Each structure stands twice: as C-alpha cells, then as structure tokens.
Amino acid sequence: AVVIAGFISLFFMVARPQWALSVAKSLTRPWPKLQTWLSEQLSQFLEGLAPLREPSRFIRIAFWMLLTWLFNVAWYYALMRSFLPEATWLWAFFSIAATSLGVAVPSSPGYIGVFEAAMVLSLAPFGVDPAIALAYALTAHVIYFVMTAVLGIIGFWQQGQSLSSIYNQLLSRSAAK
C-alpha cells in the first residue's frame, strides 16, 4: 500500500511539477535557505522523472516493478518454506518489507549482518526460532549474492565489459577532472 501510494504521489508530482514545487515552497516558507535548496533539489528530481509523464510508460514501469517484487516474494517464500514448513505468504511479505526497511539504514557493505538481523527480527512476531531464522537469512543472503553476481557477469559479458575496463574508465574520468 505504501509503494502504491508512493507511485501515485510520484505520478502526480511528474504530471504537475509546478504544483509539487509550490507545495514544497509553502512547506518551507519559514526557512528561506531550506526553501531554496529544496526547490533546486526537487526541480532536478522532477526533471529526472520527466520520462514518466507518459501514463503508458509510467504504467509499464510500475507493472515491471510490481512483477519483480512478486518474483522476489515468491523465491523468498519458497526458500522460507524449506526452513519453516508452517510459513505463510504473509510471513514472506512482512519479512521482505521489514528487511528492506532495515537495510535502508546506512550499514556495512552488502548489508552483511544488518540483513540477517532484520530478517531474524522480522520473523520473531511469528514465533520463529531465532536460530532457524538466522539459518534462513544467511541462506537467502548467499543466494541473493550468487544470483546478483551471476546476472552481473552475464550483463558485463553481453555489453562487452569487464571490471577492469570499468575501473580504467573511472580512472580516466578522474584524471580528466
């Protein structure tokens, strides 16, 4: 529901950028420096979202994002059932939502430790043994890393890239500045 509300808000902000800017200005009127800074940041943000002004494009993007979230929930649920046969879809939705919020906080590279803690804590209200929840979280995290690495390698290969070529491009950009 929060994601859907966020998408609707983004759509209205993109469709009516002047309205979004005027709301931001009115909310920050008592703080002129904040008002100036926020107006600049919001203008850039809305400019970046400009391609979403087409409703058909916006709907396509929302559809694909929803589909990826559903796939994400499905694989977490399938894995969860191997550790917790009594698990329900609610557990999977709740644990993914809670874990996503948990890793949004600044943390270690790859969310190592933070992901596991958030997952264990998210399963506690369902009475899941912390040891089983930790085993599930560690397994899910490793699978996620492996899937991401494999897909990244495939993407690099398809684009004719490598980590060293990207590193060299970054070095040449830094030297040019």
pLDDT at 2 over 80: no
For residue 110, the model assigns a pLDDT of 83
> pLDDT band for position 163 (50/70/90)?
confident
Q: Is the pLDDT of residue 7 over 80?
A: no
User: In the chain, pLDDT over 90 holds for what percent of residues?
Assistant: 41
**Residue 41 to residue 75: CA distance in whole angstroms:** 37
Over the stretch 91-148, which tens digit does the pLDDT of each residue have? 999 999 999 888 888 777 888 889 999 999 999 999 999 999 999 999 999 999 999 9
Q: 56 Cβ partners below 8 Å, 6+ apart?
A: none
